Amino acid sequence: MLTRQTFPAYVAAHRVVMAPMAGVTDPVMRQLAEEQGADLAFCEMVSAKGLSYANERTEDLLEVGPTEREVGVQLFGHDPAVIADMARRVVDLLGDTLAVIDINMGCPARKIQTKGDGSALMKDPDLAARIVEAAARAVAVPVTAKMRRGFYADEETAPELARRLEDAGAWALTVHGRTAQQMYRGAADWGVIARVKQAVSIPVIGNGDVVDGASARAMIEQTGCDAVMIARAAQGNPWVFADVKAALAGAPAPWPPAPLERIACARRHAHLLYEWEPRALVRMRKQASWYCKGLPGASTARGALNRCVTIDDYDRVIDAIEDHLRAIGMEGDR
């Protein structure tokens, strides 16, 4: 069983992490990421309030895939008592499969932060600390928190908040180098990750603009962070985890996938989604579009994919994409 004393060694062995992403990190996406080298993958972020209502759709977000040995769960909310109760609920539901419970203090989405959740907690460090303290007292599994550089564009509050959360019982912290008001615009400031690392004694995971092995290695070298978390760069690109894993191990970078390999993975992704939950197949529209990004005819392909309804529809469109790539001689190009 992990303790706060042994958790740094766990993080050192799990340096490549896939971030929780709403509508993206379902069991299929997590399986593909882990096949490529992700050490730990998070479920989609879960509303503590929704879970407290025994909402079936919310509980579905906690479903574990058949190949998963462990998974991270991120809760969002602003009521310490509800967060604590739902942390216990997550432990009961997932048992030994649960690796960590993370508290979302970084989501900048308007519909989240206007309710006092996500990045809005950075404006109320007392409440943020009470939430972490309540969760850490409620469960024996590691409790962590994910934050941003600050809430407002012209301020940096992450180092001070990090100290507060460490004192409240957080086992580790993830820091995204943008402020909430930046959303996903501009470049992430990795300097704040270094400053948080200097401010606390618990592990720090860096997040923001990690798009390949080179950027992951650069982040660790520049900030001293203990692990990296990858989000948008994994969309339609599970191979990013293999690249990052190799870079952090000092191994040669793997060959990037050829166009037909990318499309074959999109087909497999669609079929795995259909096998997991036929109703989830609608997600494949955006997933398949990500796989096609940058390929010749991607715009036409996206239009066709957005009209897909059944698994047969996807197969027909993917067949057409493959035929087009072969016709223009791109079947094996890397």
Q: Is 292 a catalytic residue?
A: no
Measure the CA–CA gap between 267 and 311, rounded to whole angstroms: 9
E strand segments, the chain: 16-18, 40-41, 46-47, 71-76, 98-105, 143-148, 172-176, 204-207, 227-230
- Beta strands 172-176; 40-41: pairing state: unpaired
End-to-end CA distance of the chain: 44
Phi, psi torsion values for 176, nearest 5 degrees = -95, 135
CA-CA-CA-CA torsion sign (155, 160, 164, 165): positive
Environment class of residue 232 by beta-carbon count within 10 Å: exposed (0-12), middle (13-18) or buried (19+)? middle
H or E segment and range at residue 273 = helix 259-276
Neighbours of 101 (CB within 10 A): 27
Of the candidates 107, 225, 265, 308, the residue annotated as catalytic is 107
Amino acid at 297: G
DSSP 42: B
Residues 6+ apart with CB under 8 A from 210: 216, 219, 228, 229, 230, 233, 244
Active-site annotation, residues: 107
